[in-house]
């Protein structure tokens, strides 16, 4: 029996950095159930791997991820959709403690846009397209699109996109705050790799604390968020990386951070 094709591939990018690539170019990397399960498994494993400090997420071919597989969903019932428990698969990505860079190389529509918004940094190729077109097929975003988009770009930009299903180009996505940086198409992975390696060379415990505090702080009162930040800041003074970083600065040498 022929071996089943892997829909998610994990590749090494260099010290501390890995690439997670959705490999369904024939389907524009549509996020069917097996692909979501494979993505969740990859992120769960990489989250536990101490050697991994940064993850780059991208798609194969001309799309990042074109969204859900509508052929599979069209005749499903509400009970069938509930029993898929897709939120558990998405949760594995959202819960990843490592910095995640989405390198969006083409269409990021529907679930693909939601997947990109699970990242901490979004790099977009100049030809990339973003959108939540679910309303055009009679549904709505179901993997965080309404919540993450409104937090990223504000109510009025988000509601226009959600209620019309309009598509944004990369330049407009950057202008409204959905994208961190736009680069020429042929430079996307070079830039994503360089950024991943830059972050991977920095203290990973500090990076994880920054991510955790920033994400949790969005949904609690400012006074509580500031207290959380203060405690995390103080906690980092118990790490070897803090001692190494400050001593290296004072000694005028490059630090070597070991995640301890």
Residue 1: predicted pLDDT: 32
Q: State the average pLDDT over residues 119-137.
A: 95
Greatest CA separation for the chain: 66
Which domains, and CATH codes, for the chain?
Answer: 8-200 (3.90.226.10), 204-251 (1.10.12.10)
Q: What does the block give as tokens for 52? A: 């991994």
- Asked if residues 120 and 94 have their Cβ atoms less than 8 Å apart, the reply is no
pLDDT digit string, tens, across residues 73-106 = 777 888 877 877 878 888 899 999 999 999 999 9
Least confident of 135-144, 153-162, 196-205: 135-144
Residue 5: predicted pLDDT: 64
Phi-psi region of 46 (alpha: psi -120 to 50; beta: other; left: phi over 0): alpha
Distance CA 85, CA 82 (A): 6
Residues known to be catalytic: 68, 111, 114, 134
Q: Kindly report the pTM of this predicted structure.
A: 0.91
Distance CA 214, CA 235 (A): 16
Distance CA 237, CA 149 (A): 35
- Asked if residues 205 and 237 have their Cβ atoms less than 8 Å apart, the reply is no
């Amino acid at each position: 029996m022929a071996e089943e094709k892997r829909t998610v591939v994990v590749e090494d990018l260099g010290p501390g950095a890995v690439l997670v690539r959705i490999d369904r170019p024939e389907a524009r990397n549509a996020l069917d159930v097996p692909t979501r399960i494979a993505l969740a498994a990859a992120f769960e494993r990489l989250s536990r791997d101490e050697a991994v400090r940064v993850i780059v997420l991208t798609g194969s071919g001309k799309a990042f991820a074109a969204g859900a597989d509508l052929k599979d969903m069209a005749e499903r019932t509400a009970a069938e959709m509930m029993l898929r428990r897709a939120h558990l698969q998405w949760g594995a990505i959202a819960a990843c403690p490592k910095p995640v860079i989405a390198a969006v190389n083409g269409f990021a529509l529907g679930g693909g846009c939601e997947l990109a918004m699970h990242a901490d940094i979004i790099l977009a190729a100049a030809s990339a397209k973003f959108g939540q077109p679910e309303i055009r097929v009679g549904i709505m975003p179901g993997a965080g699109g309404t919540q993450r988009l409104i937090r990223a770009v504000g109510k009025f930009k988000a509601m226009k996109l959600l209620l019309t299903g309009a598509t944004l180009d990369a330049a407009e996505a950057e202008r409204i705050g959905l994208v961190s940086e736009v680069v020429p198409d042929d430079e996307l992975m070079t830039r994503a790799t360089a950024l991943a390696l830059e972050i991977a060379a920095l203290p990973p415990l500090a990076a994880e604390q920054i991510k955790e505090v920033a994400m949790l702080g969005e949904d609690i009162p400012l006074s509580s968020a500031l207290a959380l930040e203060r405690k995390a800041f103080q906690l980092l003074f118990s790490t070897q990386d803090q001692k190494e970083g400050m001593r290296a600065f004072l000694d005028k040498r490059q630090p070597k951070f070991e995640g301890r």
